[in-house]
Amino acid sequence: MAIKIYPNRIEFERYSLIIGCNGLFVSSNADLSNTSAYACLTFPDRTFGSIFQGTVAGYTTGGYSVPYSNVIDKFPFAVNSSATSVGNLTISRGDLSGQSSSIFGYSSGGFASDYCNQIDKFSFASNGNATSVGVLTQSRRVQTGQSSAVSGYASGGGNPAGVTTIDKFPFATDTNAVSVANLSEGRRGSTGQSSSLSGYTSGGNPVSVPDTTRIDKFPFATDTNAVCVGSLSQSRWVTAGQSSVSHGYTTGGYSGPSKVNTIDKFPFTSEGTASSVGTLSQQRGYMAGQSSSVAGYTSGGGEGVPVGNVNKIDKHPFSIDSSATCIGALTQARRISAGQQV
What is the domain-level CATH number for residue 214? 2.120.10.80
Q: Do 64 and 31 fall within a single domain? A: no
Q: Do 61 and 149 fall within a single domain? A: yes
Residue 80 has pLDDT above 80, yes or no: yes
Confidence at residue 3, expressed as pLDDT on a 0 to 100 scale: 65
Between CA 142 and CA 287 the distance in angstroms is: 11
How far is residue 37 from each of residues 26, 44, 47, 49, measured CA to CA in Å? 10, 17, 16, 18
pLDDT per residue as tens digits for the range 187-199: 999 999 999 999 9
Give the residue-averaged pLDDT of 265-283: 95
pLDDT per residue as tens digits for the range 117-129: 999 999 999 999 9
Binned at pLDDT 50, 70 and 90, residue 44 comes out as very low
Closest CA to 299 of 56, 77, 68: 77
Q: Do 28 and 84 fall within a single domain? A: no
* 150 lies in some domain: yes
Q: Do 82 and 180 fall within a single domain? A: yes
Binned at pLDDT 50, 70 and 90, residue 5 comes out as low
Confidence at residue 141, expressed as pLDDT on a 0 to 100 scale: 97
pLDDT per residue as tens digits for the range 216-257: 999 999 999 999 999 999 999 999 999 999 999 999 999 999
Binned at pLDDT 50, 70 and 90, residue 14 comes out as low
Confidence at residue 110, expressed as pLDDT on a 0 to 100 scale: 97
Q: Work out the number of other CB atoms within 10 angstroms of the CB of residue 126.
A: 8
Q: Do 207 and 271 fall within a single domain? A: yes
How far is residue 244 from each of residues 237, 250, 265, measured CA to CA in Å? 21, 12, 10
Confidence at residue 1, expressed as pLDDT on a 0 to 100 scale: 56
* 232 lies in some domain: yes
Give the residue-averaged pLDDT of 72-80: 98
Confidence at residue 21, expressed as pLDDT on a 0 to 100 scale: 46
Q: Do 236 and 131 fall within a single domain? A: yes
Between CA 183 and CA 161 the distance in angstroms is: 14
Q: Do 33 and 68 fall within a single domain? A: no
* 43 lies in some domain: no
Q: What SS3 string covers the chain?
A: CCEEECCCEEEECCEEEEEECCEEEEEEHHHHHHCHHHCCCCCCCCCCCCCCCECCEEEEECCECCCECCEEEEEECCCCCCCEEEEECCCCCECCEEEECCCEEEEEEEECCCEEEEEEEEECCCCCCCEEEEECCCCCECCEEEECCCEEEEECCECCCECCEEEEEECCCCCCCEEEEECCCCCECCEEEECCCEEEEECCECCCCCCCCEEEEEECCCCCCCEEEEECCCCCECCEEEECCCEEEEECCEECCEECCEEEEEECCCCEECEEEEECCCCCECCEEEEECCEEEEECCECCCCCCECCEEEEEECCCCCCCEEEEECCCCCECCEEEEC
Q: Is the pTM of this model over 0.75?
A: yes
* 242 lies in some domain: yes
Binned at pLDDT 50, 70 and 90, residue 275 comes out as very high
Q: Which domain holds residue 29?
A: 3-38
Residue 4 has pLDDT above 70, yes or no: no
Confidence at residue 208, expressed as pLDDT on a 0 to 100 scale: 72
Q: Do 212 and 295 fall within a single domain? A: yes
Q: Do 13 and 123 fall within a single domain? A: no
Q: Work out the number of other CB atoms within 10 angstroms of the CB of residue 262.
A: 21
Closest CA to 154 of 128, 113, 120, 130: 120
Residue 260 has pLDDT above 50, yes or no: yes
* 50 lies in some domain: no
Residue 50 has pLDDT above 80, yes or no: no
Q: How many domains does the chain have?
A: 2
* 285 lies in some domain: yes
Q: Do 234 and 125 fall within a single domain? A: yes
Residue 162 has pLDDT above 60, yes or no: yes
Q: Work out the number of other CB atoms within 10 angstroms of the CB of residue 337.
A: 33
Q: Do 222 and 317 fall within a single domain? A: yes
